[in-house]
Amino acid sequence: MQRKAEKKWEIEPMELVSNKSMAIIGYGDIGAACAKIAKFGFGMKVIGVKRNPAACSEEYKSYCDEIVGNDAYESSIAQADFVVGVLPKTGETEDFFNMDSTFSKMKPTSVFMNIGRGPTVKEEDLIVALQDGKIAGAVLDVFKKEPLPQDNPLWTMPNVLITPHCAQQDKDFMSDCIF
């Protein structure tokens, strides 16, 4: 994006997502849709993290290389190149993704993505993790306060991609759903 703004034509090697790994936290309907695309569309290794892995349907199990319980959360995010949050908003999940539980445990080359609910992320911790290089980047569709205030530092961070809570706003969303 910076090169585009500067109108610079520079070629550099691109890193493909095939053979990368994705941990999906809160593996349910939305997580299964992500897993299906990641595994079959991009050839990624996919780990689903679910409170009760035994409650997962056989179809949803087929989209993952592995489905684990919350007790394997840390080991799952430690090996993932992409950590995708799809947790619902509950009393237990508020600020779930924070420095102590998540960002300090991820690889510095990892990208955090949140398409679940904004309040599940402690934004000030995410900002510090991005500024300090604890993680490489973030892709964020949901926020604690929406619309995201204009003075929020996430807007100007070069390693953050922001969408306005529109991950499901495809005109064919309901007819294309896998569930």
Q: Is residue 53 part of a domain?
A: yes
**Domain count within the chain:** 1
Question: What pLDDT band is residue 4 in, cutting at 50, 70 and 90?
Answer: confident
Distance CA 142, CA 80 (A): 21
For the stretch 58-114, pLDDT in tens is: 999 999 999 999 999 999 999 999 999 999 999 999 999 999 999 999 999 999 999
Nearest CA among 127, 132, 81 for reference residue 140: 127
Residue 55 lies in a domain: yes
Residue 75: predicted pLDDT: 98
Domain containing 116: what range?
18-166
> Is 5 part of any domain?
no
Q: Is residue 31 part of a domain?
A: yes
What is the spatial distance between Cα 103 and Cα 179, in angstroms, rounded to a whole number?
Answer: 31
Residue 113's CATH number: 3.40.50.720
Q: What is the pLDDT of residue 169?
A: 56
Domain assignment of residue 7, yes or no: no
By annotation, the residues acting in catalysis are 117, 146, 165
Long-range CB pairs of 48-53, under 8 A, 24+ apart, other chains included? 48/24, 49/23, 49/24, 49/25, 49/73, 49/76, 50/26
